[in-house]
Amino acid sequence: MKWLSVHDLKPEDLLRLEFDTVFDQQAALEGQLEPFLQALEEYAGEWMPDIVNGKRRRKYSRAAVWKSLEERRDENSTVFGLYRTKWPALDISLSLWFPPLPPRLGIFINVKPLSFFAEAERCHHFVEMVRTWASHYPVTHAVAHSTDDMILADSPNFGRDKKTCREDGFDKVYEVFWLNVFGPKLVETVGRERMLSTPAHRVEELPNGSVLLVTWPTVADFASKEARLAQARAHAHLRPDLDFDTVLRNLRERSAMLAPVEPRFHPDLAPLLSRVVDGAASHERQRRIAELNAWCPPEPEEWRPADAALPADVENVESALQQYSLYAEHLVALLHSEVPSVFKATPESLTDADYYFWSEEFPKSRLREAIDEHAVPAIGAYLGEVLVRNLGGRWIPRQKLEEAQVLVGNRVWLPFVRARNYMRSRQSLLDCSLTCLYRVAERHRD
């Protein structure tokens, strides 16, 4: 059984729920988790988990949950996951801590894509599930919202100050998200009357003194003008010390950062840049598209006019060509597992290699000595071989690798010089990409 991991799929926004509570350490765990599982089974519907992952994967059932709890438990904690094998992707992590640690239950849910929750009925069922949990389990604070927007928010609910915020018991309302559960202590800090009079889609006092607050009927359109206005009104109401216009402006700035941007990449590098964007975190993706739309690769400098080519100065041309071929085979040996297309030595294999080196941050993640001594000769020779095989190029070997040339049309290209420039930094992998040099050489071969 293989599940659709929210982390392995294409970067895309998802619905994130964070729910921390405590449990009775004297009671049986099965009884403690019964309300959680009952509400999940009642309300999850189309995103219901079908896999329980303990020490091994099992089809979802209560028995499988209890088995996973037992086999994953150590002295102080147990952690296991619930997943799906079909769309939408799901990742539920349950973490339980036992004495001498404070007994605590953490429920973290990710459902991808966020667009799945564009329907009001699905959102209503999700809210009802959380309401059921919050009515049964004592909770200090719980939230559900777009993960991308959570990351952009300057809030200790999500990010580097989260631990501090938990420890101080959420002394104030740092942020209002789509769905919020405010524990009794925070409700009293804000003022119960003020909390219950918050302008929002739904405000409900729960039996244990907590307050459930939902800003907008649907979470998928959290970034719309109307939803942001509702979010700002709720936040400013709960925090009268904040300026409403400032709160709204900050929310709209976050919406602008997440607004879709149409890719308009340089045609030579569009396949490569599309993959670079796909590898970016989803909350950074639109900004990255805008940056790459505005970016243009520098024209390659590693060439001379054909009439300025240096003549071959090696004693044995055939031996030199065999050496270049051997260097190129070194690159194939290095990349073939991750980049199978390198066997074909095509323009597409150059793009695949470009992306591999970029995703690996190769110039920074490998020793400089190894790059200069092994990677640069291998990359340069491979680039030269692609020029020879696909553009009818001809090697002009030289004793110094950096002077070796490949004649294509009315230019000679210096593939080893390109490889050295290429491996200077991660940005150089784009500025001096192998793909770009090939495409320019292709245009100038006639």
pLDDT tens profile 352-370: 999 999 999 999 999 999 9
- 1 pLDDT above the threshold of 70: no
For the chain, give me the number of helices (H) and strands (E)?
19, 14
CA distances from 167 to 80, 141, 156, 171, 304 (A): 24, 12, 11, 10, 65
Q: What is the mean pLDDT of the chain?
A: 93
> What is the average pLDDT across 408-432?
97
pLDDT of residue 162: 47
The tokens for 80 are 């296991």
Q: Roughly what angle, to the nearest 10 degrees, separates helices 376-391 and 415-422?
A: 130
pLDDT in tens, 60-119: 999 999 998 888 888 788 888 999 999 999 999 999 888 888 888 999 999 999 999 999
The alpha helices in 239-338, defined as continuous H runs, are 244-258, 270-278, 282-294, 317-335
pLDDT of 157 over the 90 cut? no
Residue type at 7 in one-letter notation: H
The owner of tokens 């990255």 is 288
* Residue 185 pLDDT grade (very low, low, confident, very high; cuts 50, 70, 90): very high
Q: Check pLDDT > 90 for residue 167.
A: no
Point out the least confidently predicted range of 10-14, 183-187, 273-277. 10-14
